[in-house]
Amino acid sequence: MRGFEKADQLGGLWVFREGENGKIYTSLRTNTATPTMQLPDFPTPPDYPPYMAHWQCKEYLQSFANHFGISQLFTLQAEVVEWTRDQIWKISVHCLDSDKSIRMDSLDADFLCLCIGQTGKPFIPQYDGSQLFEGLMMHSSAYRSPALFQRKSVLIIGMGHASGSDIAQEISFGAHQVWLSTRRGGLLLPRFINGRPSHLWGDKRLFLYLPMGCILPILQIFFTKHINDSFAQGSGPSLKMPFPDNKSKTNGNKIPEHPAAFVTTDCCNLLQRIAIGAIIKKPAVASFSQHGAEFVDGSSAKVDTIIWATGFERVNQPQFGYKLRLYCNIFVPSTPSVAYCMQVHPIGSHWALAQMQATWIAKVFSGKLALPDLDTMMRESREIEPHQSENICIEYEEMIQIAHQLGTSPPGFFMLLFRLCVRPVSTIAYLMMSLRQQYIKI
């Protein structure tokens, strides 16, 4: 096996970099609790906090790669520029030597796995008049710290699953005024509930047997009555942060997203910053002018800076088609010697899902597991949309599908009832296990 990494070190986007190659800001912390992110057989250090900083994520991943001998399999500062297939894959690589010269390298391979991520190209939507705006316009991936925005009027468009909320709150402590524009409502998930990381409350296999349609209303009631109102600032809807509504429309079309797409992790207390006026909540943007923006409710804002927290586009490979179709979000049906890792956007631990996908890929490529026939894979494949927000999944739901392929899927509802009758102790222990632990039969 050989791997190629374009950057100068392993760690992906968790390596802090200035300039266009960077994706993260200095204060960034994970929005998933540390226990749910650690990989099998390699626990995080005991002194790590409940939510890791970006540099701790980098150190953990690099330590993992060193511990299992993965680092020595990679060539750094090497960009794969072309691959073609006849009997085998012919791969061409541009390598940057120590003297900064570019050397062409090539190799043959039987299988190809693309781990290119989902943050290749910042996405900036087009609005009427956007070319007229005379202030600073930037994507959230270019944001590093609030220093540039002291005493400025800043409009942040989009909230995403963390970045828009994080940046709005951080900037609001020194900016003249911050506006936050979103197209729809959302659920603000606090980092802690009753002193415990919020993700750990639901990290039990018991929740596999609760219908998703029941969970969203429960969360709405819980967050309104027991979290938002407890700070006496008012609930989300009272502060123009409505709850999600799957019947709402955007550009005349029904929003087709998974309920999890509406969840945003709150790094501190976004509603409090809105309540005291440091952040002004606005609906969707209608158009731009030279000095600001107008919104769909007829209001307007005069701003110096616009920050787009609107996510990224996946950079897929053209030889497999503009609309890439993947079987179980991993394998190219027409070319099963090619696999993609992490071409869906999970709510929860990316690393846990990546580990499950990598396990399946390794077993298929090594001949230990076989894929279905072409007709089955084509029938069950689905398009991977360009924007990362279009293929949303709950990570443990995706992991269950892979576990089924590996022969270790959890028992069905009726089998669980039978197990409760004949083996209650072990079955209850199974239900209390973490969703992200290795799937085993009980």
**In order along the chain (442 residues), what is the average pLDDT of each group of 10 residues?**
91 90 91 86 92 95 95 92 87 84 87 87 90 94 95 92 90 96 78 80 70 63 56 55 50 43 68 90 93 94 95 69 79 91 82 89 93 92 78 72 77 78 78 60 34
Give the count of beta carbons closer than 10 Å to the beta carbon of residue 249: 11
Q: Tell me how far apart the alpha carbons of residues 184 and 7 are, in angstroms, rounded to a whole number.
A: 36
**Can you give the residue range of the structural domain that contains 420?**
410-442
Contact between 435 and 396 under an 8 Å Cβ cutoff? The reply is: yes
| Co-location of 136 and 256 in the same domain | yes
Contact between 255 and 246 under an 8 Å Cβ cutoff? The reply is: yes
Q: Residue 253: what pLDDT? A: 36
Alpha helix (H) ranges present in 173-292? 198-201, 212-222, 270-275
Q: Residue 228: what pLDDT? A: 53
Task: Please indicate, yes or no, whether the overall pTM of this predicted structure exceeds 0.95.
Answer: no
| Co-location of 107 and 222 in the same domain | no
Last residue of a domain, one of 260, 282, 310: 310
Q: Residue 156: what pLDDT? A: 96
The domain tally of the chain equals 3
What is the total residue count of the chain?
442
Q: Residue 60: what pLDDT? A: 96
| Co-location of 422 and 440 in the same domain | yes
| Co-location of 214 and 97 in the same domain | no
| Co-location of 221 and 288 in the same domain | yes
| Co-location of 268 and 321 in the same domain | no
Instruction: Supply φ then ψ for residue 441, to 5 degrees.
Output: -80, 145
| Co-location of 144 and 276 in the same domain | yes
Last residue of a domain, one of 310, 343, 367: 310
| Co-location of 393 and 254 in the same domain | no
Q: Tell me how far apart the alpha carbons of residues 186 and 220 are, in angstroms, rounded to a whole number.
A: 10
For every residue of 64-124, DSSP letters joined together read HHHHTT-GGGEEESEEEEEEEESSSEEEEEEEE-TTS-EEEEEEEES-EEE---S-SEE--
The closest of 122, 236, 128 to 182, measured between CA atoms, is: 236
The CATH number given to whatever domain includes residue 292 is 3.50.50.60
Q: What is the helix, strand, coil percentage profile of the chain, to 5? A: 35, 25, 40
Q: pLDDT tens for residues 355-406?
A: 889 999 999 999 999 999 999 999 988 888 777 777 777 666 777 788 778 8
| Co-location of 399 and 379 in the same domain | yes
For every residue of 22-58, DSSP letters joined together read ----TT-B-SS-HHHHPBTTBPPPTT--SS-BHHHHH
| Co-location of 304 and 349 in the same domain | no
Apex CA 28: angle with CA 389 and CA 245, to 5°? 35
| Co-location of 388 and 431 in the same domain | no
Q: Tell me how far apart the alpha carbons of residues 79 and 94 are, in angstroms, rounded to a whole number.
A: 5
| Co-location of 56 and 181 in the same domain | no
